[in-house]
Amino acid sequence: MTKRILIIEDTKDNRNILNDLLTPAGFMMFEAENGEDGVALAATLRPDLILMDVQMPLMDGYEATRRIRANPDTRHIPIVAITSYALSGDEAKAVDAGCNGYVAKPFSPRAILAIVRNLLADA
Amino acid sequence: MLERQTSLAAGTPAGRARSGAGSLVGRTLLRFRPRSLFGKYAITIVALVVFVLAVNGTVEAWIIYRESIAKVTDAQRQAATTMTEQVNRLFAGLERLTWVTRASAVTLQDRRSDYLLLLKSEPAVSDVMFVDADGHQQLDVTRDRATMYADTDVSQDPAVIRALAQPQSIGTSLGSGHEPWLVLTMAHSGLRAGATIARIKLSELSRLFDDVPFEDASYGYVLDDTGVVVAASKTSPVAIGTKLGADKAVEPLLKDLRTSSKPVGAIEGHGVIRSAAPIESTHWTVVIETPTREALRPLTDFLLRLAWLMVLGLGLAILAGLMLARRMIGPIQALHAGAASLAANKFDHRIVVETGDELEELAAQFNRMAGDLANTYGRLEVKVQERTQDLRLSVRKLESLEETGRALSSSLDLSAVLSTVVSRAVALSQADAGAIYTIPAGGDMFALAEADGFPPSLRTAPSGSGCVLDTVGWNEPPAVIDDVEADSRRLPAHELTLAAGFRSALIVCLDGSLGTRAALVVYRKQPGGPSSWAPDVMQTFAHQAVLALHNAHLYQELISKGRQLELANAHRTQFFANMSHELRTPLNAVLGYSELLYDGLYGALPDRALGVLDRIQANGKHLLGLINDVLDITKMEAGGLGITVSDYSVQTLVEGVFAATEALAKTKGLAFETRVPNDLPAGRGDDRRLTQVLLNLVGNAIKFTDHGEVRIEASRMEDSFHIAVRDTGPGISADQQKRIFDEFHQVEDEITRTKGGTGLGLSISRRLMELHGGHIDVVSAPGEGATFTIVVPIRAVDQKRAA
């Protein structure tokens, strides 16, 4: 069964890169441009994994993560945070908010692919 | 005490004397002590009187004694002589009896008639008898009995024997059973003619004493040659017939008596004075005695009188002593008390002595002195009070100023200081209102900045130009307007000020306090000259006020600048945070796409394109590093960067760095190795930051070393880890070593320019180590490679938070 991945990311380039990376890898990709849409889409789609950008306007990734975790239907979905950069301290905040892993920007597509595969193989 | 003295001074002289005397007696009696002056005087006077009386009495007593003795002995001698004469006269009378012995009377009848005649003529004779030569009594004629004729043998009678043996004799007969007699014998002329014996009662002899004049209790008696009392006066305690001579103790007395009339001896234990006179014809002795007590009665009377006199004298002496002492001592005590009062600074005390002599004069001088002293003291006191008043005033001024200074400097809030300055100025100058005027920035006229006691009309009124405020200058004495109406100078809002009722004012310059011209004005509703304003105090106050205002003004500016600075800093931090995000986002896309391209996700690319993509990747990552460094340093400068402390392993840390840089070292053909002991303890610190530092050092080492090796060595030194990064690169000169940790600095030479970099890495590393409480050492010399050593406490604490 094809695994479904939801990307919540406000930057179109990043969404494209992730799409271009993960679609050929055999995943079904879904996108949301902001936190609110992401939370709603997550509840509807119930994806197998969520890639969450933490730095977004309106609702940031931490808040979106907390909401997804608050919903019993989406609580179990693994979330990988894409933090602003390695030493910003965002990682700890992301873990606190309920993320299962993180990737610092600028992310290496290869590293993302490794993490995603790793998480979904466990599931 | 003082009260009493005061009332005394005010009282009448009589009242004064009375109460003075009364108190004196009371005090004298209470304070009598033998050692006090008063006691000495009294005792001396009494002793003198008693001594004089005693000496006088003794002398007089001696004289009286002598006189008494002489008088008694004289009287006794007189009596003795009289008695002697009486006895002699009696005996002479008896001589005449011899006529009865005439031979012519031959018959007993003749003799009887002769004897009757004798009895008739000599009343002392109680009986007469005739004894014949054989010692036989032939005739006895008595006064009361009938003539007796009997032939009785009386030859053994001592008197008869004596009568027949001697022509004449006088003796006594103390025969028992009859009255003692004085026996007179007369031998008759002719052979064996016999003798006549006349007997006279001894009481008759004693009667002779009746005619003897006796003094008082004197008495007399007559002793015969054998010491027997043959006659005694009526009052004599010695009875007739007593034989004194038999008493041996009396023998020398009797002997003495015959030769002397000195009063000696004693009879029956009673002291007597005795005189004696001898009766030559019979060897008898007349003794006159007077009991000594009686004889010395004048003396005892005198002594009694003397005793009374002495008692009286003593009493008088005591009284006189008291009086004298009081008169003498009283004033002296008053003087003494006066001196004591004077010594106790009671100058209103006056000594009352009214003796009319030198003492009174002395007291008067004393009082004058006290008066002078009181005057002097009073003047002195007035002066002291004046000085004290002056001192108090200046102290109050100083205190007021000091308190003002404190109040002014207690706050740095400009509006509070302004308000304090005005209210203090009003209080200090006892004015009704006060105000501070300043020329606002950009203005050219004074405007009200702060006011106290102003009516609302004045608070909003414009000051108007050409007023007095323009004329006062810094460090000049305050300007004083005594009377606003009469003065040509104009106050700010002159008419309104007049209308508000202010009549005088003092203006002092406060330039230099608020960064602009400023002046303080205090107003009063009464006109008043400069002296009432105390301009010097106000000027001092102005100095304090300027200082306080200046401080507050500066502080306000400082606060304002600080706020601006803080805001600017916050803006900058925010700007950099935003910028880094904005910069990274496109960079992320560049790097992501290029990686996807490189990995052939968009189709296979020719080798040349792959090489270009590699360069794009490398430059993109470098740019990312620069952006990260700038963001780090910005955060550090904004004080926003801390460390997150957790447990870590040095081994893991070194291995991580080694893994991340191994490929780079391999690419450059460098030997690369690590040496980490197995027994290092777990450290505590921010492992990600430590990794960042170590990565930076190792990255630099690899970057600057073209040949040789790079080595990571970890060790433990006491409480710290030492992680050294050695390289065989070009080395760093001592001069450069000092600067490589500064921001934006890189070793400037040909090599480094080709290596690129922000120059922020070492600076950030140094700061990160400092945040751990550690540091970075560098040992290097040009051409000899370099060793950078991280020294970090095993148990690090966030220095920023700890501080």
pLDDT one-digit tens code per residue, B314-362:
888 788 777 777 777 777 778 888 888 878 877 777 777 777 778 788 8
Of residues B149, B157, B147, B209, the one with CA closest to residue B178: B157
Categorize the per-residue pLDDT at B529 as very low, low, confident or very high, splitting at 50, 70 and 90: low
Whether the predicted pLDDT of B12 surpasses 90: no
Q: What is the mean pLDDT of residues A49-58?
A: 88
For A56, name the nearest residue in chain B, comparing CA atoms only.
B581
Distance from CA of A109 to the nearest CA of B (A): 6
| Rounded average pLDDT over A94-123 | 84
> Does the distance separating the beta carbons of A13 and B588 come in below 8 Å?
yes
3-state secondary structure of B181: strand
B581, B588, B764, B798: which to substitute to probe chain A, counting the most A Cβ within 10 Å? B588
Identify the CA nearest to B198 among candidates B272, B274, B117, B252. B117
Q: Determine the Cα–Cα distance for residues B310 and B656; give it in Å rounded to an integer.
A: 141
Name the residue of chain B whose CA is nearest to A89's CA: B644
* AA identity, residue B741: F
Kindly tell me if the per-residue pLDDT of B475 is higher than 90. Answer: no
| Backbone φ and ψ of B486, nearest 5° | -90, -15
Using CB atoms, pick whichever of A84, A87, A107 lies closest to residue B592. A107
What are the pLDDT digits (tens) for B277-294?
Answer: 777 777 777 888 887 777
Beta-bridged to residue B790, according to DSSP, are B723, B776
Test A87 with B620 for CB contact under 8 angstroms: no
Lowest-confidence range among B581-590, B623-632, B635-644?
Answer: B635-644
% pLDDT > 70, chain B:
86
Which of B205, B87, B208, B201 lies closest to B143, judged by CA? B201
Q: Which range among A39-53, A71-85, B361-375, B605-619 has the greatest average pLDDT?
A: A39-53
Q: Do residue B581 and residue A89 have CB atoms under 8 angstroms apart?
A: no
Structure tokens at B176: 């028992």
Return the higher-pLDDT residue of B608 and B115: B608
Q: What is the pLDDT of residue B800?
A: 67
Calpha distance B692→B677 (Å, rounded)? 21
Most confident range, picked from A18-32, B477-491, B725-739:
A18-32
Is the CA virtual torsion B135, B141, B142, B145 positive or negative?
A: positive
Q: Are B776 and B763 in contact (CB under 8 A)?
A: no
Closest C-alpha among B560, B554, B562, B549 to residue B415: B549
* CA–CA distance, B360 with B355 (Å, rounded to integer): 6
The three-state (H, E, C) secondary structure of B239-287, written as one string: CCCCECCCCHHHHHHHHHHHHCCCCCCEECCEEEEEEEEEECCCCEEEE
**Between residues A69 and B195, which one has the greater pLDDT?**
A69
Which amino acid, B420? T
Of the listed ranges B105-119, B247-261, B516-530, B594-608, the least confidently predicted one is: B247-261
Which tops the pLDDT comparison, B60 or B405?
Answer: B60
The residue among B593, B596, B768 with the most chain A CBs within 10 A of its CB, best to mutate, is B596
Chain B CA closest to residue A13? B589
Alpha helices in chain A (DSSP H): 12-22, 35-45, 61-70, 90-97, 109-122
Residue of B nearest to A108 (CA): B592
Check whether B35 has a pLDDT greater than 80. Answer: no
Q: DSSP of B544-568, one letter per residue?
A: HHHHHHHHHHHHHHHHHHHHHHHHH
pLDDT value, residue B166: 79
| B97: pLDDT strictly greater than 90 | no
ipTM, interface predicted TM-score of the complex:
0.86
Pairing mode of beta strands A101-104, A79-83 = parallel
pLDDT of residue B712 exceeding 90: yes
Lowest mean pLDDT segment, chosen from B81-90, B543-552, B752-761: B752-761
Supply the pLDDT for residue B17: 40
pLDDT category, B23, cuts 50, 70, 90? very low
Place of tokens 């933490």: A54
Instruction: Please give, rounded to a whole number of angstroms, the shortest distance from the CA of B406 to a CA of chain A.
Output: 51
pLDDT value of residue B791: 94
Mean pLDDT for the stretch of residues B98-108: 69
Q: Is the pLDDT assigned to residue B142 strictly greater than 60?
A: yes
Contact B628 A85 (CB under 8 A): yes
What count of residues does chain A have? 123
Question: How far does A97 lie from chain B, in Å, by closest CA?
Answer: 18
* Residues of B with Cβ-Cβ distance to A106 under 8 angstroms: 584, 587-588, 591-592, 620, 624
For B691, nearest residue in chain A (alpha carbons): A87
Return the sign of the alpha-carbon dihedral for residues B31, B37, B41, B43: positive
Name the amino acid, one letter, at A23.
T
Nearest to A10 by CA among A117, A105, A90: A105
- A89, B644: Cβ pair inside 8 Å? yes
Which tokens is B652 given?
Answer: 């893991």
Which chain B residues are closer than 8 Å to A11 by Cβ?
585, 588-589
Residue B7 has pLDDT above 70, yes or no: no
Question: Is A23's Cβ below 8 Å from some Cβ in B?
Answer: no
Please say if the pLDDT value at position A43 is more than 90: yes
Whole-number Å distance between alpha carbons of B461 and B447: 9
Give the residue among B198, B209, B201 at the shortest CA–CA distance from B169: B198
Strands ordered across the beta sheet of B284-291: B229-232, B219-223, B284-291, B270-279, B266-267
Instruction: Rank A18-32, B98-112, B236-250, B622-636 by mean pLDDT and report only the highest.
Output: A18-32
**Mean predicted lDDT score pLDDT of chain B:** 79
Taking contacts as CB-CB distances below 8 angstroms, the residues of chain A near B688 are 86-87
- B688: nearest CB among A11, A17, A87: A87
Give the lowest-confidence range in A49-58, B485-494, B604-613: B485-494
pLDDT at position B473 is 78
Q: What are the chain A neighbours of B624 within 8 Å (beta carbons)? A: 85, 106
Higher pLDDT, B661 or B45: B661
Give every CB contact of residue B249 below 8 A, 6+ residues apart in sequence.
none
Total beta-carbon pairs less than 8 A apart between chain A and chain B: 61
- Terminal CA-to-CA distance of chain A, rounded, Å? 12
Contact call for B584 and A11, based on CB within 8 A: no
Tell me if A13 and B624 make a contact (CB, 8 A cut-off).
Answer: no
Report the residue of B581, B595, B691, B800 to disrupt the A interface, i.e. the one with the largest count of A CBs within 10 Å: B595
- pLDDT > 90 in chain B, percent: 9
